[in-house]
Homo-oligomer: A and B are copies of this chain.
Amino acid sequence: MEKAPLLLTIAVLGGTGKEGKGLAYRWAKAGYKVLIGSRSSERAVTVASEIMELLEGSSSLVGTSNLEAAQLAEIVVITVPYSAHRETLESVKDVLKGKLLIDVTVPLVPPKVTKVQMPAAGSAAQEAKEIVGEGVEVVAAFQNISHEYLLTDEDVECDVLVTGTSKDARTEALRLVDAAGLTGWDAGPIENSVVIEGLTSVLININKQYGSTHAGIKITGASQKS
């Protein structure tokens, strides 16, 4: 794990959800300042103190509204259900300029969640890019990680594929993957997001067909530069 720069602040929008809470826990633990954002600031405050308790330390974790969290952070992570994706992004887009947006959203369409069904933009991450417009780099990551892993300190048997609008954005996001104790890979341009978002449906299908609960993927045949 890499030592995080002390002042870098990460907002986790929808951070009261399971995936967001898990990521917030991992990053706070790694030394990042983390702002939990939610539609309900009260709920965000509660979840922030729950995570503080788990960490038993001097971590910096604050709960607030999605807008304030996005405003105060350098990196904004969105972990809302797909049904709240557009609305949440619309509500914060004015404060995102010059920042990095990391989209964790999987555009599942119930009830057929085992079938890949992407929005017209090509993927949730490309849709996010359309919504937030120029001046915001967008990355897709963490779609394939079961949230159950994140609130423990176990090794996670699933890699993180990272796509994004620029190489710099992917590199920055890969630093956060590393800080979360996970193995990340540069998976190419934002157009490749369909693969990582769609993999979630494939993994759900595998869970269904083979009776597993936490199917994941690992990249083989390549190793990280050190």
Contact = CB atoms under 8 A, between A and B. Distances in A.
Most buried by B among A157, A196, A215, A222: A222
A186 B211 CA distance: 12
Interface in A148-206: 157-158, 161, 185-189, 191-192, 194-196, 198-199, 201-203, 205-206
A111 B117 CA distance: 27
A188 B116 CA distance: 9
Contacts of A192: 114-116, 198, 201-202, 205
Given A195-B194, A198-B194, A225-B211, A220 B188 contact: no
Integer count of this chain's copies in the complex: 2
Interface string A21-62: 000000000000000000000000000000000000000000
Given A194-B198, A201-B192, A202-B188, A220 B158 contact: yes
A123 to B, nearest CB: 9
Given A195-B194, A195-B199, A198-B198, A205 B188 contact: yes
A1 interface: no
30 contacts: A114-B188, A114-B192, A115-B189, A115-B191, A116-B188, A116-B191, A146-B221, A158-B220, A185-B209, A185-B210, A186-B205, A187-B202, A192-B198, A192-B201, A192-B202, A195-B195, A196-B202, A199-B199, A203-B219, A207-B222, A210-B222, A210-B223, A210-B225, A211-B225, A212-B221, A214-B222, A215-B221, A217-B217, A218-B218, A218-B220
A211 to B, nearest CB: 7
Nearest to A204: B188
Contacts of A195: 116, 194-195, 198-199, 201-202
A216 interface: yes
A219 to B, nearest CB: 6
A169 to B, nearest CB: 14
Contacts of A158: 220-221
Contacts of A198: 192, 194-195, 198
Given A188-B201, A192-B115, A210-B225, A220 B220 contact: no
